[in-house]
Amino acid sequence: MFALLVRSLALEAVRYLLLLFARSAFAEGDTGLTKVTVGHGFDTIKTRLQCCPPGIYRGTLDCLVKVVRNEGVFALYKGATPPAVGWGAIDSLLLGSLHNYRLFLIRHHWTEHVPGTDVQRLTLAGHGLAGFGAGLTSTLIATPMEHLKIKLQMQSQRSAADRQFKGPIDCAKQIVQHKGVLGLWTGFTGSLAFRGNFLWMFGSFEALMRLFTSMQGTSFEMTTGTANFLSGGLSSFTFWFMAIPADNIKNRMMAVPLTDPRPTFRGTVTQIYRTLGVRGFFAGLTPCLLRAFPSNACAFYVYEGLMRGFGAEKTRH
């Protein structure tokens, strides 16, 4: 049974990756490149707010002004290459495994009746569990990509010649030289804690879809696409409110200089609390919320539409 699940997951990931590339080719929806173009500046600000020593930036706007003034506007796109290249693979693994975990749970009777019918559907707990599993699965390839991104984002020098890392390849080489190949997965435990929070995103997405579906026949009735768009955007707020503490831990672990000892999850938690208190775990929340709705609303709209269009096995009702 486990072998069949792995095989099915791999086939679904490949299929979704092909769909993702097709979507990119026709410039439809929220491609990985579009995510980077629109959202990476917010991500750079978030990273600086989370990982720089206290007192350098007073807030989101102050960080934006100082980065642009001292490093130039294109500094907002430092570290953009790893996610631009890797986002498609990460999304394919995340969403491909999500679909297969949903199917797996349905086959193992994590189901309930759709009200008023004999049709079976996956429970809300099942949707959350599938999201949790998909998040953990995607950690394997997301961690090294995010590690490179964080290292490059934290370079505050204006001139490329003055920076420690000349680009993502040079960054990867230096990490391997100092820490070995497994050094690319520095922050893996933080990444697991962060990506486990996809439980909240996919669970709340399904809850919102059911809410919007219940409005059929009323003046608030909407199309499935519109419900996907709104549910995707709103569920991203739930995700970030729950995930931002783990995101802080993960990014601080990845930002540790190569000459320092490899950080631990527990040690990083202790350091954040001693330095900034509880509020330190919520650093960078504002830029996350600013970019969350549009990028995730588009992503869910496209993903759900593609799954319907390509006749994927139904996991939602």
Mind giving me the DSSP string for 252-266?
HHHHS-TTSPPP-HH
Chain segment 84-97, per-residue pLDDT in tens: 888 878 888 888 89
Q: Which two tokens stand for residue 39?
A: 């959202």
**pLDDT, tens only, 202-224:** 999 999 999 999 998 898 999 99
Distance CA 71, CA 102 (A): 46
> Which amino acid is located at 49 in the chain?
L
Q: Retrieve residue 110's tokens.
A: 């994590």
Tell me how far apart the alpha carbons of residues 73 and 63 are, in angstroms, rounded to a whole number: 12
**Residues linked to residue 111 through DSSP beta bridges, in sequence order:** 122
**Is the pLDDT higher at 119 or at 66?**
66
Residue 26 confidence (pLDDT): 37
Residue 100 vs residues 21, 86, 247, 285: alpha-carbon distances, Å? 20, 21, 26, 31
Predicted TM-score (pTM) above 0.95: no
Distance CA 49, CA 54 (A): 9
The pLDDT of residue 116 is 82
Rounded to whole angstroms, the Cα distance separating 100 from 88 reads 18
Sign of CA dihedral 257, 258, 260, 266: positive
Residue 73 has pLDDT above 60, yes or no: yes
Angle between helices 81-107 and 285-309 (to 10 degrees): 60
Q: Which amino acid is at 99?
A: H
State the pLDDT at residue 85: 84
How far is residue 288's CA from residue 237's CA, in Å, rounded to a whole number? Answer: 9
Task: Kindly state the tokens that stand for 43.
Answer: 């991500």
What ranges do the domains of the chain cover? 2-309
Helix (H, G, I), strand (E, B) or coil at 63: helix
CATH node for 2-309 = 1.50.40.10
